[in-house]
Structure 1
Amino acid sequence: MRAGRLLSLLLLLQTRGRMTAAELSAELEVSIRTVYRDMDALSSAGVPIYADRGPAGGYQLLDGYRTRLNGLTEAEASSLFLTGLPGPAAELGLAEVAAAAELKLLAALPPGPRSQAARMRERFLLDVPGWHRGAEDVPFLAEVASAVWEQRPLRLAYRRWGPADVSRDVLPYGLVLKGGSWYLAAECEGSMRTYRVARILSVTELPGRFERGEFDLPAFWERFSAEFAARLYTGTARIRLAPGGEGLLAYTIGEERAAPALACARPDPDRPGWTVLEIPVEGLNGARWTLLRMGALIEVLGPPDLRAMMAEAALGMAEMYR
């Protein structure tokens, strides 16, 4: 285990540059004392590591030093080929680069990991978009990605949900692929916002560069996703659920919302086998069309306006099919 940890430490310094003992300790999940011992071991083995003292200090490799070891196990090498998403790579303008990198990685691997990685590529495929959804047209994705990489501000013409298109000057921090759709995380007027790339109508690169700072894209996206869900599902509906309807409910409103609601469900005294529960909804109109997908497996008990809308829709369908 120590050999693997020493290699991880070396690769961290090689890829990230200067790091403090505390940062290395947190990254490797070991004590700071262990980091000190590992540094001594690497130095004794001839690795050119030097340490700077003081608040801005830390450990760093001698400029230009690179290890040719990658330390990849068969499982680690195989997992890299699950990240090969040809569609998104092509949309970013990186299809040829990604293919070349894959070939070079295969060539650099020893026979064992190379064989395992080749089998992984032959037998597993990641297809990001959901069913019944065509690929979105994202004509400006390459320009946006370039600006993200080069840290250059942009002026976007953007089609929002409202009645009029808008123009926004933004600092592009990162791109996220979610459910087959690309989203831009960008700073606009001093706050972080997200823009669906398919809704960008034009892109103009503005002069200069901006400082990205310590922006953490995964952490931002996790917060945004949680806040978006909280804003979206602001109401509740009280329903009766038929026996065996739990799976369809989870499919219809999402497992993350159905599970807590089902955990609090109670038997319906008026209908044996049925349960009564409250579920989160995103508004009356949205709830109507969502819950109609469950047909006769649910009955909406409240709020009264939603029940009336469901009844009206059901009567209209009955009249149509009479």
Structure 2
Amino acid sequence: MRASRLLSILLLLQARGRLTAQQLADELEVSVRTVYRDMESLAAAGVPLYGEAGHDGGYRLVDGYRTRLTGLTAGEAEALFLAGLPGPAADLGLGTVLATAQLKLMAALPDELRDRANVLQQRFHLDPAGWYSAPDPTPHLAAVVDAVWHQRRIRVRYHRWTAPQDVIRTLEPYGVVFKAGRWYLVARGTDRIRTYRVSQIRRVWTLDTRFDRPDGFDLAGHWRAYLDDFDVRRQRGVAVVRLSADLLAHLPDLVEPGVARAARESAEPTDRDGWLRVVIPIESVEHATGMLLRLGANAEVLAPIELRERIAETVTAMAATYAV
């Protein structure tokens, strides 16, 4: 455990430059006193580092000192090769860079880890895109990413779903997120931080003005909060549905995970035929109609009455269309 922590200290100092004892303690989730002892051990082992006191002080490695990758465990080496997604990297203009980095990593690994990495690449492949959907065209992704890197404001013509559909926005781009085969831009507009689908950007103008990112802004944390809020906002009501036990078992293949989970957790028997009563979240009557029609005759909406009537009307109209 301690050897792993000492290696982590070396890698942190190598990657970030000067760090205080408190910063190291926070990263490693140990006490400051433990960090002091670890630094003494590293110095005694001949690692060239020095500490500076004062407000701007901290620990640093002597310029030019680099650790070797032979300290990687088998699991760590495998994780690094699984982490590189060639599709998104190519979208960002980093496909060649990723391939070169993997070659350098492979060359630096000991023979036994290199063999494991080769086997891993032959047996595991990560494909982040969703089923039944083509990749979004993102001709302006490179310009957006460049603005993110250099903290440049951009003006975009954005196509949205509500009228007026084409709008002009001036944005401070904080970061991009790749989810389910689609790229999203997280940026601040005139009032607050919003999320924009990159494929809906029709044109980008990069401005000469720079902006300062908010202190402590965490893109991953913001994205998690955005997804939680998105689910709360779109699930505006619930529906009570009677369905067969067989359909409940296959529900994860037919609806989104949150709906299937709610059905499973709320299921209770309704009659002797083995059917169940479930309560599921719905976005709207219109959206729920399409989702529940997909379940066929093994599902019956009990409430709300507006949804039950809408499905009955749709089924009646379909029967008339297909009448012989």
With the length of structure 1 as denominator, give the TM-score of the two structures.
Answer: 0.93
One-letter amino acid matched to 2:284: G
> 1:283, CA displacement in angstroms?
0.5
- Give the percent of matched residue pairs that are identical in Structure 1 and Structure 2: 50
Q: 2:101 & 2:270 partners in 1: Cα distance?
A: 59
2:157 corresponds in structure 1 to 157
Whether contact under 8 Å (1:252, 1:291) holds in the other structure is no
Q: Which residue of 1 aligns with 2:228?
A: 226
Alignment-mate amino acid for residue 229 of structure 2: E
Answer yes or no: is the 8 Å Cα contact 2:70–2:110 preserved in 1. no
| Structure 2: tracts of 5 or more residues without a match | none
Compute the displacement of 1:211 (Å): 1.9
Residues 124-172 of structure 1: per-residue CA shift (max 9 Å, x gap): 1111111111111000111111111111111111001112201111111
AA matched with 1:214: G
Q: Could you tell me how far apart the structure 2 residues matched to 1:15 and 1:52 are?
A: 18
Q: Which moved more, 1:286-295 or 1:61-70?
A: 61-70
Q: Give the drift of 1:47.
A: 2.5
Q: How many residues align?
A: 321
Return 302-311 or 246-255, whichever deviates more. Answer: 246-255
CA contact (8 A) 1:152 1:207 kept: yes
Note if contact 1:155-1:167 (Cα within 8 Å) is conserved in structure 2: yes
**What secondary structure does 2:245 align onto?**
coil
Q: Distance in 1 between matches of 2:67 and 2:90?
A: 31
How far 1:7 moved relative to its partner? 0.6
- Pair 1:21-2:39 in alignment: no
CA deviation after TM superposition for structure 1 residue 5, in Å: 1.3
Is the aligned partner of 1:76 residue 2:76?
yes
Which of 264, 267, 272 matches 1:265?
A: 267
Deviation at 1:310, TM superposition (A): 0.7
Aligned residue runs from structure 1 range 23-172, under 5 A: 23-53=23-53, 57-69=57-69, 71-163=71-163, 164-172=165-173
1:18 match: secondary structure: coil
Matches within 5 A, 1:142-291: 142-163=142-163, 164-212=165-213, 213-269=215-271, 272-291=273-292
Offset of residue 63 of structure 1: 4.2
CA contact (8 A) 2:70 2:108 kept: no
Measured on the aligned residues, the alpha-carbon RMSD in Å equals 1.9
> What TM-score do the two structures reach when normalised by structure 2?
0.93
Q: Greater shift after overlay, 276-285 or 242-251?
A: 242-251
Give SS of 2:254's match. Answer: helix
- Superposition deviation, residue 70 in structure 1: 5.4
Amino acid at match of 1:67: T
Structure 1: runs of 5 or more not aligned: none
Residue deviations 1:74-105 (CA, integer Å, cap 9, x gap): 22112222123222122112222222222222
| Contact 2:49/2:60 (8 A) holds in 1 | yes
Distance 1:22 1:252, change over 3 A: farther
1:58: how far off? 3.5
Contact 2:140/2:201 (CA < 8 Å) preserved in 1?
yes
When structure 1 is superposed on structure 2, of 10-19 and 224-233 the one drifting more is 10-19
Confirm or deny: 8 A CA contact 1:157 1:167 kept in the other structure.
yes
Q: Could you tell me how far 1:312 is from its partner in structure 2? A: 1.0
